[in-house]
Amino acid sequence: MPPAHDLTPFREQELAPAGNPAVVRSADGRWYTVTGPCPNCHANSVFRVAYGVLGPYKGRWLGRRSEPEPHSGSILVYCQCGFPHPDRPSESPDTGCGAFWDVPVP
Ligand SMILES: [Zn+2]
Ligand SMILES: [Zn+2]
């Protein structure tokens, strides 16, 4: 049983990864898929990034990274749990609680 989902108010925050996130590279080598629970709201998240690009292209509104960078040993994963967390900015294209965390690339 996964832990219950926490409907926390939206907040951008960097957290340590929860549990042991799995990183799988697609058969054609073009994608990484990261699977693991959100350390903040505990929703199971599945996150896909293009190989060779760090972070999602849609992360720009957050202003944390202005340009994609090559993978440097970890993938920045955003919560995309899909639950209606309160206080989420309406311009946010994300569907999660605002948490993000680094997952090491094997
Ligand atoms: Zn959530
Ligand atoms: Zn979350």
Is residue 8 included in any domain, yes or no? no
Give a yes or no: residue 91 inside a domain: yes
Put simply, whether the predicted model's pTM sits higher than 0.75 gets the answer no
Q: Which pLDDT does position 61 carry in this prediction? A: 47
Please list the residues that pair with 23 across neighbouring strands: 34
Contact between 42 and 6 (Cβ < 8 Å): yes
Of all ligands present, the nearest one to the C-alpha of 45 is 2
**Count: domains in the chain:** 1
Ligand 2 center to 42 CA (angstroms): 6
For the stretch 89-98, pLDDT in tens is: 887 767 899 9
Question: 17-60 pLDDT, tens per residue?
Answer: 988 899 998 898 888 899 999 999 999 888 888 876 544 444 44
Q: Is 1 within the bounds of a domain?
A: no
69 domain-assigned = yes
* 79 alpha carbon – ligand 2 mean position (Å): 4
Pairing of strands 13-14, 99-104: parallel
- The boundaries of the domain holding residue 35 are 13-104
In a domain, 6, yes or no: no
CA 80 vs. chain centroid, Å, equals: 7
Angle at 88 between CA 12 and CA 53, to 5 degrees: 50
What would the two tokens of residue 18 be? 């929860």
68 CA to centre of ligand 2 in angstroms: 23
4 located within any domain: no
Distance separating alpha carbons of residues 82 and 69, to the nearest angstrom: 27
**Residue 77 domain-assigned (yes or no):** yes
Task: Evaluate whether residue 96 is within a structural domain.
Answer: yes
